[in-house]
Homo-oligomer: A and B are copies of this chain.
Amino acid sequence: MSIHQPPAANAVHAAGSVLRARRLGIDTYQHLVVYLRRDSPVCRAEGFEAQSRIELICGALTVTATLNVADSELLELDEAGLSDASWRALGVRDGTPVQLRHAAPLQSFAAVRAKLQGRPFDDAALLAVAQDIVAGRYSDIHLATLITACSGSHLDLAETIALTRAMVAVGQRMQWPAEVVVDKHCVGGLPGNRTTLLVVPIVAACGLIMPKTSSRAITSPAGTADTMEVLAPVSLEVEQMRQVVRREGGCIAWGGGVALSPADDILIRVERALELDSDGLLVASVLSKKVAAGATHVLIDIPWGRTAKVRSEQAARQLANRLEACGQALGLHVRCVLSDGSQPVGSGIGPAQEALDVLAVLRGQDDAPQDLRQRALTLAGLLLELGGKAAQGQGEALALQTLESGAAWRKFQGICAAQGGMRELPQACCSQVLTARHGGRVVAIDNRKLSTLAKLAGAPRAAAAGLRFHAPLGTVLTPGQPLLTLYAETPGELRYALDYAETQSALVTVEDA
């Protein structure tokens, strides 16, 4: 059976409806919004209504935006008002002609619906999903549904491999003139665990190539990129990143700036708002970025603990297996390390506070947090072994020597300079000390609540916001002794974090000393 199709229809479709672009000066973050007058002939002829998904076409570029309808005089009848994100995505100027039409049905979403009914994703389906995400065809509710369908352990190994490949396929892929290119990653969930900023200069100082790209925070108060950004620019373009690595052997750049896994960058925004974890999305996110960055040998740190992102040793082992198996399928040497996730690493939480800890270790200050220093040495040592710069069991000694000699600190300064220049740390305008009401020995710390507290204070967006934690496990507190210091960039945020602290009774647990 088939349908008679009048030949005229496609001709009309190809022409579409053309309006003049106008920047409205409305910042909707990453949301592409187009504003049209309700009484515009285009709205009426096309049957557009508020929240319609509309394709905006300008030259070779097509993006999908959500329609907001203006009843007022914000716009002329023949204008298409653009939010800042739409404006950037189309790269237009005031008056540029933009063609508008209904977005095509989202075919790839059928696979998401099928997945929810128990049918696994296949390779082609996930590639189509990734392509549609990167083309901006997934609205927020589609992204949220996809993330939910992939949450927890709902993706199996084959799906995880397919998703990783799909994410690599829809982004850029870097190549390096070296046989061994190392990388590291921490699955996160442990506030303050900023070892990357130490590991990169140590191994680069020893001659390994480490073009490190990091994400910004997903559900934490600071990602590696957020912390590095208070010390030096991280939004490098591919060519800049190449130059930094050529000169210094390593870099610490924001992955989103080089579009190594752009589908992941889009998913992360919604994952962050939902605070949903997913083994499959995590593995695909991490490994797609490593493959795209051109890494050959990857060390992955998996801290586990009752209130860490990974809550048990068993879960950590499962994740390690998944990472190693998926890495193998993609031609990567992946080694995972399970580590202690029972408390924050270092004292600072939030971009600037964590950067302070990193600088103290690099400079060999007496007050440098020893836990952060030791973790970095262990990881750098393993990476030196994995990358062939040290024999089995000899890596950590080489790392220690590189740190103590000042070579790592000089390398870090060199990397910052190459990335655009080292920066002064930002200062928080507002701070507040929270004190212990009862005395006793600290026997447990709630990482998640500390993270929430730092986020409510404004981290990671407000770089100076966060906290310094003064009571690691084993500390014997007396009543009135400082427990932590909160930092914020606005009084409103400080107040907001304090309100939260007031309602939480178990940031730390004490026992009689």
Contact = CB atoms under 8 A, between A and B. Distances in A.
Contacts of A142: 144, 274
A52 to B, nearest CB: 9
A397 interface: no
B9 A498 contact: yes
Interface in A1-44: 1-6, 9-10, 12-13, 17, 24-29, 31, 35, 38, 44
Contacts of A116: 148, 151-152, 276
A74 interface: yes
A499 B104 CA distance: 10
A132 interface: no
Interface string A147-189: 1110110000000000000000000000000000000000000
Interface string A288-313: 00000000000000000000000000
B139 A71 contact: no
Nearest to A4: B435
A81 to B, nearest CB: 9
A24 B501 contact: no
B26 A505 contact: no
Interface residues of A, number: 95
Contact of A499 (B13, B74, B506): B13
A117 B152 contact: yes
B145 A68 contact: no
A493 interface: yes
Given A31-B51, A45-B491, A74-B74, 14 more contacts: A4-B435, A4-B437, A9-B499, A26-B70, A26-B72, A27-B68, A29-B49, A47-B458, A47-B461, A47-B462, A102-B496, A113-B275, A140-B144, A148-B149
Interface of A: 1-6, 9-10, 12-13, 17, 24-29, 31, 35, 38, 44-47, 49-51, 68-74, 83-84, 101-102, 105, 109, 113, 116-118, 139-145, 147-149, 151-152, 270, 273-276, 432, 434-438, 440, 452, 456, 458, 461-462, 480, 483, 488-493, 495-496, 498-502, 504-510
